[in-house]
Amino acid sequence: MNNIMTIDLEDWYQDVDFKNWKNYEDRILQNTNKLLSLLDEANVQATFFVLGYNAERFPELIENICDKNHEVAMHGYDHTPLFMQTPQKLENDIRKTLKILKHITNDEIIGYRAPWFSVVKETFWAIDILKKYFEYDSSIYPTRTPLYGIPKAPRFPFRFSLSDPTKMGAKGLLEFPPATYEIPIFKRKIPVAGGFYLRLFPCSFSKYFIEIINENQQPAVCYLHPWEIDPQQPKIRSYKWWHYYNLNKTEKTFKRVLDNFTFVSIKDYLASEHIENIECINDLW
């Protein structure tokens, strides 16, 4: 059973501060190289959702990611969430970042993940634009949190088709929702197996959540940031506690997850699975 591993390629301060990035120490090279070694050891190729800003500053890192046969996809230029953008700004952001990434990789970029999983009801205008540029998206978290989520969205890969098929194309946009667990009886979906949630739960829980998803014959879409395996990163006291929570345990959990399941990139998943059978839905609300 193939699961999906994704990495959101950000440095620690890009989650801490929206604007003053030049004031902080860069740790992305050492952390990503460490992450690449862990993926190498487990023989896993992942999808890297890359910020244009980081690709511009560290093109050799992106080349290294490509050389190891990982997929390079897009995470926007500077991590501005969609709720702080307009349709025009988003198109500019996508065009600018695509140019940077294509120049380095010499390849098509077919996937997108919105910063902060910010494809939500208020920003749903973005879907038309994403469909124009990408084959798939991985931004809809089928849960409810204070920051993001569309609780009624399917938990497993789906296509979303708007009522006007001429706008979306006959098939709609392919969506890869991050892994969730549905609590029996309550039917409430909770995020699992990615980022903070991978750090929050004991490793045995993360394994159990992925097993349950695989029992449904579905892939678990997992994600991690390079800074999450870096407990030595600077501490900013005013910053949210969950950024720093359990950083010293992530590497061990990540290794165990990699050792216990099979993971591929989204691009490789699309090439190997029967995606024509993926459910197409019209209504997420």
Q: Where do contacts with Zn ion occur on this chain (CB under 5 A)?
A: 8, 115
Residue nearer to Zn ion on the CB measure, 51 or 168: 51
Q: Distance between CA 255 and CA 222 in Å, rounded?
A: 13
Q: How far is the CB of 160 from Zn ion (least distance, A)?
A: 21
Residue nearer to Zn ion on the CB measure, 70 or 159: 70
Q: Distance between CA 96 and CA 109 in Å, rounded?
A: 13
Residue nearer to Zn ion on the CB measure, 8 or 11: 8
Q: How far is the CB of 187 from Zn ion (least distance, A)?
A: 28
Q: How far is the CB of 116 from Zn ion (least distance, A)?
A: 6
Q: How far is the CB of 79 from Zn ion (least distance, A)?
A: 6
Residue nearer to Zn ion on the CB measure, 115 or 154: 115
Q: How far is the CB of 49 from Zn ion (least distance, A)?
A: 7
Residue nearest to Zn ion (CB): 8
Residue nearer to Zn ion on the CB measure, 8 or 135: 8
